[in-house]
């Protein structure tokens, strides 16, 4: 059960928060879930809870600090805007070329961010070697959404292990293997480029 936070949530409060779920009063339906795991220690994730046509859904927006509080609020607001237009955020998120792609737009001028690497890797490598490169691209965009604005050169091996562990815990061990293979190819490609 989530508890509303009396005052505005801050990045410092997110860092210090103990286990539990809080709602952010700044943006309706944005929640912070803090939990302890055996493999990754304390995990802080932003979630967006919504109701569409009588059904409740939850979308994980990303993990702190990979996803900042400001970015989580911006993503949640974009999903709220979709709901106002009568669009299910989950289905819009899963459609290739959907307007929600703007949620993870790379930072302008940073050709080394993960989103730019995914795009370049897809165009120059996957399209030449795979029959269905869009499947691999969708996997990378979805699983690396938290890293999309980060400089790819700053991703540490420990972060990759934590990402793969989180996928296994969902539980989705087969997807974790796919992501591991794609990450290996993509980062090797990036180093050679």
Per-residue pLDDT tens over the stretch 29-41:
898 888 887 777 7
Half-sphere exposure of 67 (CA within 13 A, CB side): 22
Clarify whether residues 66 and 92 are in a common domain.
yes
pTM tops 0.75: no
Clarify whether residues 93 and 165 are in a common domain.
no
User: Looking at the domain assignment, is residue 11 inside a domain?
Assistant: yes
Distance, in Å, from the CA atom of 47 to the CA atom of 73, rounded to the nearest integer, reads 10
Distance, in Å, from the CA atom of 148 to the CA atom of 165, rounded to the nearest integer, reads 19
Clarify whether residues 99 and 7 are in a common domain.
yes
Clarify whether residues 42 and 119 are in a common domain.
no
Query: In the prediction, which pLDDT does 175 show?
Result: 93
Domain that residue 171 falls in: 114-192
Clarify whether residues 97 and 14 are in a common domain.
yes
User: Looking at the domain assignment, is residue 108 inside a domain?
Assistant: no
Distance, in Å, from the CA atom of 124 to the CA atom of 104, rounded to the nearest integer, reads 21
pLDDT digits (tens, 9 = 90+) for 149-163: 888 888 888 889 988
Domain boundary among 103, 128, 154: 103
Clarify whether residues 88 and 21 are in a common domain.
yes
pLDDT digits (tens, 9 = 90+) for 87-134: 888 776 654 444 443 344 333 344 678 888 998 899 888 888 888 888
Distance, in Å, from the CA atom of 138 to the CA atom of 94, rounded to the nearest integer, reads 9
Closest-CA residue to 40 (of 24, 64, 67):
64
User: Looking at the domain assignment, is residue 109 inside a domain?
Assistant: no
Clarify whether residues 74 and 30 are in a common domain.
yes
Domain boundary among 75, 103, 131: 103
Could you give the percent of the chain with pLDDT greater than 90?
12
Asked whether the beta carbons of 52 and 38 are under 8 A apart, the reply is no
Clarify whether residues 18 and 80 are in a common domain.
yes
In this structure, what DSSP letter does residue 71 have?
H
Domain count, the chain: 2
Clarify whether residues 11 and 93 are in a common domain.
yes
Q: Mean pLDDT over residues 9-26, rounded?
A: 79
Clarify whether residues 15 and 71 are in a common domain.
yes
């Amino acid at each position: 059960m989530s508890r509303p936070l009396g005052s505005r949530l801050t990045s410092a409060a997110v860092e210090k928060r103990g286990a539990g779920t809080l709602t952010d009063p700044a943006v309706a339906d944005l929640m912070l879930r803090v939990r302890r795991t055996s493999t990754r220690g304390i995990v802080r994730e932003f979630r967006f809870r919504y109701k569409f046509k009588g059904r409740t859904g939850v979308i994980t927006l990303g993990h702190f600090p990979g996803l900042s509080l400001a970015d989580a609020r911006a993503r949640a607001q974009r999903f709220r805007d979709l709901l106002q237009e009568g669009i299910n955020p989950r289905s819009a998120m899963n459609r290739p070329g959907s307007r929600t792609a703007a949620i993870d737009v790379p930072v302008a001028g940073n050709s080394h961010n993960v989103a730019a690497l995914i795009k370049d890797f897809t165009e120059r490598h996957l399209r030449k070697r795979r029959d269905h490169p869009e499947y691999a691209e969708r996997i990378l965009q979805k699983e690396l959404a938290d890293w999309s604005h980060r400089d790819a050169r700053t991703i540490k091996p420990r972060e990759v292990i934590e990402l793969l562990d989180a996928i296994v815990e969902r539980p989705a061990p087969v997807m974790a293997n796919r992501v591991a293979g794609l990450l290996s190819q993509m980062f090797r490609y990036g180093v050679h480029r």
